[in-house]
Structure formats: structure tokens, C-alpha cells
A and B are shown apart, each in its own frame.
Chain A
Amino acid sequence: MVTKTGTRRVRGLAALAAVAVVTVTATSACAGSSSSSANLSSSASASAGGGNPLAPSASNTVVVGSANFPEDELLAEIYILALQAKGVKVTAKLNIGAREVYYPQVEKGAISIIPEYNGTLLSVEVNPKSTAKTTAAVDAALASGLPSSLEVLNPAPAQDSDSVTVTAATAAKDHLKSIADLASYASKFSIGGPPEFKTRVDGLVGLKSTYGLTFKNFVPLDESGPITLAALQDGKVQAADVFTTTPQIISDHLVSLSDPKFNFAAQNVIPLVYKPALTPTIESVLNAISAKLTTSALLQMDNAVITQHANYSTVAAGFLKAEGLS
């Protein structure tokens, strides 16, 4: 167009198109490089998989994926190295995103294996109304509720679950080992956690009905993040909901109280697998890893990669070597 407004409009459209092109290029570049973001020294086929990280891969390789947080990435690395040591061809697709993003992909088989947590997998994807709490009950519910294309293998003893955590000093002073030990102290303790902990079924409500505890007050903080940890350190709260593999448990000298009456549902690390991709070798490798993966081992590894910024592959390889799995 020849009019003044016309040329301005065209120039504007051109600018918009340029921005769109740059954005799309940058996003696909980011998506392509996301599989190599975890300091991987292994999985040579990962770099060949640039572009869409969720596209189906070649038929005789398995795709090991991970969610976008360090612990899951670490677990995936362990799976990858152990599988490769047994001659399985692996493509890594790490840091995919939240469950909403990767779960449909595992269902379809674009991802073959992903480290999961049995409790949240059950309550988020399979049955939100489930009341299963113990490892056995949760796994049984998963076995009967998962879609036919999926299965879970053996659960590891390692759990990354909510907990009631206190400082080591408090635990020593008041002789606290399990949540039940809080019976005579709860009324003097402030407890902190994410805002929904106040009304959540396994939050204050559950602590009251399962253990009979009524705390002095509740301080809404964050999900086992810097604010909650600072509150524990500062003495603003005497107890808090901290995830059991939070690295600061080590560095801040905290103690997660045991939960003998299963207020918090089990959250065992468990491999979620696309059935058609499963072979006896893969099954035995992953089950062997799960057998040796304890909460304290996982906590130590999380501390290494998150707090000490160690290389994920190095830490994973170290674990496998120490357990005789590589």
C-alpha cells in the first residue's frame, strides 16, 4: 500500500514477523539443547536428537526422560548409565517439564522410561480420590489404575515425600524421632508449610486426625523452599513441612521425623515404563537400582548436585559403582 498508514502497517507487520521468527527459532533451539543441559558425558545419541525432544525415536533404542527438577534428572542419569552399561541403547530426553507435559508422552511411547514417585503419580494422574497411603497400597492402586500401555516396576525404598521436620537441636532437646513424639510439644510449636498445608488432607487436618496434634499456630511459607528453610533456621517456626530429600536437611542440620502412622502417603521413587518398550534386561537393571536406592543415598546425591554443583553423570556413576551396578 502506498498510503502513510499503509506503509506503517506493513512495517509493523514486518517487525512482528521478525519477532515471531526469532522467537520460534530461539524456542526450538532451546528445546533442542535441553537434552544436553545436564552436564551429560554419556548418551551420544542425545545430541543427534536436537529439535523436538518428544519426537518418537528409533525402534531399538529406549528413551529415558526426566521432569524439570534436579532430583528427577539425577535419577534419569542413573537409569541411563546403568542401562548403557548393560548394552542397552539409550536416548536421553531430560528436563522435559512438569507431569502435565511428559505423562501423555510416556502414555504414547514417545518416552519409554521416566523416574516417578508412586504417591503423586497415583493422586495426580490415576486416582485423585485414592486413600492409599502405604507403599504396598499405593503400588496396588497404580497397578490396577494405570492405562494399559503403562506399568510401574519395583519401588525403591527412597522416598521424596512431605514430612514434619525440625532442627537437629530441637530433636535432641525434646527427644523427637517420630511425629508421634510431638504429642507433648505441639501446642508450643509453630508449624510452617505451603499455604495449602493448613487445609490439605495430609496437612494440619491429617496431623490432628492421625496423631492428635494441635499446633500453636500455622505460618504459611513456601513448598520446602528458601523461605521455609529460613523460618526453621530463624526459629520463626519450630517444625515445618520439608521434603525428605531436600539437601538443606544435611547442610542446615535438620531432622525429618518418621511417620509411622502414614499421615503422608508413600512417595517411593519408581520407574514408570511404556510396556511395549520393556525388555527383561531393562526390567532387571531398573529393579536392581531400585533395590539399592535408599532415602539417605538419594539425599546425599541431591546434596552433591544441588548444593555442591557436582556433575550429574559423575555422581550417578559414583552411586552405581558403589552399589556394584555398573
Chain B
Amino acid sequence: MSFFSWAWDWVIQRSNWNGQGSIPQQIVAHLGYSGLPLLIAALIAIPAGVAIGHTGRGATLVINIANAWRAIPTLGLLVLLVVLLGFSALTWLLPLVVLAIPPMLVNSYEGVAGVDPGVRDAARGMGMTTWQQVTRVEMPIALPLILVGLRTSAVFVVATATIAAYIGLGGLGRFIIDGLASDQYGPVAGGALLVVVLAILVLILFAVLSRLLVPAGLRTRRREG
């Protein structure tokens, strides 16, 4: 019996695809538990990273905090918040948002800060306002790195959203936690396999997004650099 045989035998069982708590239901729930924190984190981290990258102010402090932030144990934070906040939406949102912010913050900062000084100078020289410099020049150039940050956060969050099941919610973690509790390896391996598949799909999505969004000129430059 291997991980894959347990997972496969469980995934192909028809009964696991119907009824309450079925595989499709938990996948949708899992996407919800992953998507919302990612969106919130992106709305916080990307503008912040871009702003810090543009002005250069507070860079060291913020980057160090972001790196230390990564050390926060998400599960521990979740249990702490259950005790402090009870079972509100914030209880599961906060730990995942905290998890998602650092990669996006750091990569957005690096993307914008790494824009060629000559290009920045040119933009300033052309009379562009700060907003125009950031949105028309710096962000497009930083886009590959911003997307890498988004992608990294997305994979982290998809993999970690399994913890929502720890406080009685759904998602793919439900199979893993319930399976562990009742010594059934099928759902444990199957749930884990589904999370991996979802993460891979996220990677593919971002590869496609990158292709579509990143200007051709930047892509060529990256290959040569």
C-alpha cells in the first residue's frame, strides 16, 4: 500500500463525490478559504510593496518584518484566535492573510525597486506625475516579480487553507483531519493529493496569466538577463 494507492482508491470511489461533504463541495469551499485571504492580502501587500519600492522609505524595516512574519506558525495563530475571537470569519481569515502578505510584499517591493534607474529618471524627466510613473512605468516593469509574489502566496495559501478544518470548517483539510482522527489513510492521502493537484493548477494558472499579462518586451529582456 502506497500513498498513491490509498489516495487513488479513495478518490475514485463514487460515494465520495456525492452528498454532504463530498469532494466537489470541499474543493469549492477550499477555493473560498484560499481565494478571499489571497485577495485581501493582495490589496494590502501589493500597493504597500510598490509604494515602498518607489520611495525607498522604510524598505529595510518592512522587509525584515515581512521575513520574520513568515515564521509565524499559522496553526498556532488560528487556535489563539479561536480563544480570543471565537468562531468569527476573522478567525480563519487573519492567519491566512498573514501567511499570504510577505511574499507579495517583498516581491512587489523588489520588482519596483529593481526598475532601471535610467528608466525611472526618464519617466520623471518626461514630466510624469508620481501616479503615472508608478502605474505606467514601474508596475508594468515590476509585473513579472509581482506575479511571482502572487503565485508564491497562492500556493502557500492553497496548501495551508487545510487548517480551516481544524476549527470545524470545510475545505480539503476536512478529509485529512477526519481521516487522521479515525485512522483512515484513504481520505488522508486523497485529501493531500487533491491539495497538491489544486496547487499545481494554481501554478499553471499563473504561468498562463504571466504569458498573457507580461509585455513581450519584458519577457525577452528577462531571458537575456
Contact = CB atoms under 8 A, between A and B. Distances in A.
Q: Do A and B come from one complex?
A: yes
7 contacts: A192-B168, A195-B180, A220-B178, A221-B168, A222-B166, A226-B79, A231-B87
Interface in A195-235: 195-196, 198-200, 219-222, 226-227, 230-231, 233-234
B45 to A, nearest CB: 29
B77 to A, nearest CB: 13
A234 B86 contact: yes
Contacts of A226: 79, 82-83
Contact of A221 (B83, B167, B174): B167
A230 B82 contact: yes
A8 interface: no
A162 to B, nearest CB: 14
B182 A230 contact: no
A32 interface: no
A227 B79 contact: yes
A115 B178 CA distance: 31
Contacts of A192: 168
B31 interface: no
A220 B168 contact: yes
Interface of B: 79, 82-83, 86-87, 165-168, 174, 177-178, 180-182
A230 B182 CA distance: 23
A191 to B, nearest CB: 11
Contact of A195 (B79, B83, B87, B181): B181
Contacts of B177: 195, 220
Contacts of A196: 178, 181-182
Contacts of B167: 221, 227
Nearest to A197: B181
A230 B86 contact: yes
A199 B79 contact: no
B190 to A, nearest CB: 16
Contacts of B168: 192, 219-221, 227, 231, 236
Contacts of A234: 86-87
A271 interface: no
A236 B82 CA distance: 11
Contacts of B181: 194-196, 220
B66 to A, nearest CB: 29
A150 B130 CA distance: 81
Contacts of A227: 79, 82, 166-168
B125 to A, nearest CB: 52
Nearest to A225: B79
Given A195-B182, A230-B86, A230-B87, 6 more contacts: A194-B181, A196-B181, A198-B178, A226-B79, A227-B82, A236-B87
A18 B174 CA distance: 42
Contacts of A221: 167-168
A192 B168 CA distance: 9
Between B165, B167, B174, B181, the greatest number of chain A beta carbons within 10 A of the residue's beta carbon is seen for B181
A195 B82 contact: no
A198 B174 CA distance: 13
A226 B181 CA distance: 17
B166 to A, nearest CB: 7
Contacts of B182: 195-196, 199-200
Nearest to B91: A230
Nearest to A195: B181
Nearest to B167: A227
Between B82, B166, B177, B178, the greatest number of chain A beta carbons within 10 A of the residue's beta carbon is seen for B82
Contacts of A198: 178
Contact of B86 (A195, A220, A222, A233): A233
Contacts of B79: 226-227
B166 A236 contact: no
Nearest first, the 8 A-B pairs at minimum CB distance are A195-B181, A234-B86, A196-B181, A219-B168, A195-B178, A196-B182, A236-B87, A230-B82
Contacts of A236: 86-87, 168
Nearest to A230: B82
Nearest to A218: B168
A241 B174 CA distance: 19
A230 B83 contact: yes
Contacts of B178: 195-196, 198, 220
Interface in A160-197: 192, 194-196
Nearest to A231: B87
B82 to A, nearest CB: 5
A219 B180 CA distance: 16
Nearest to A237: B168
A234 B86 CA distance: 6
